[in-house]
Copies of this chain bind each other. A is one copy, B any other.
């Protein structure tokens, strides 16, 4: 793993834990075991490096979710396995958290991977729901886009609740409440 790679990895980690504005180039360098000169040789600056890190994190998030959402099984089963996915819920969502970082919102290059990832996620969930409606597994009057937003929001909001109480069980509870509702909709 060369210096460039270590810099990106360290930035991914720090962006997740501290956010963009609160992460200094110095922290990144220390964490990556790279000097200042190395960082400014490989990247134009903090923003450029953060874009590379966010793109890599976006890819990871997308791959993880895709595997669960497109696995075999009924729609409710796939939604359930997505919701119950093993998560380090106190850390929150590495993409979703960026929406509360003022610098990210103000910098199109930083915001773009966040927007694209959450957009992709909602679309992928909606596709599962659409299939469930088609298979008469979910009620015909279900709005796939709306329910997809609800499912994605439960995860994003579950992180907020867990972080507020420093307690992962808040996240788990939010997910289980959603799973129960989906199963009632299934039976209903």
- Chain A residues packing against B (C-beta within 8 Å): 17-19, 21-22, 92-93, 95-97, 99-103, 105, 114-115, 118-119, 122, 139, 141-143, 145-161, 163-166, 170, 173-178, 180-182, 184-185, 187-188
* Minimum Cβ distance to chain B for residue A85 (Å): 15
User: How many identical chains are in the complex?
Assistant: 2
- The answer on a CB contact under 8 Å between B100 and A92 is yes
Bound together, the chains give a CA A123 to CA B158 distance in angstroms of: 15
Instruction: Say whether chain A's binding surface is mostly helix, strand, loop, or mixed.
Output: helix
- The answer on a CB contact under 8 Å between A101 and B100 is yes
Bound together, the chains give a CA A117 to CA B58 distance in angstroms of: 32
Partner of A154, one of B96, B154, B170, B182: B154
Bound together, the chains give a CA A161 to CA B93 distance in angstroms of: 12
Bound together, the chains give a CA A143 to CA B184 distance in angstroms of: 13
Chain B residue numbers with a CB within 8 Å of A96 are 157, 160, 164
Closest to A99 in B: B163
Bound together, the chains give a CA A165 to CA B99 distance in angstroms of: 9
Partner of A22, one of B21, B156, B176, B185: B21
* Minimum Cβ distance to chain B for residue A131 (Å): 16
**Contact A173-B160, Cβ < 8 Å, known A100-B92, A154-B154, A187-B188:** no
Closest to A119 in B: B165
Chain B residue numbers with a CB within 8 Å of A187 are 188
- The answer on a CB contact under 8 Å between B161 and A118 is yes
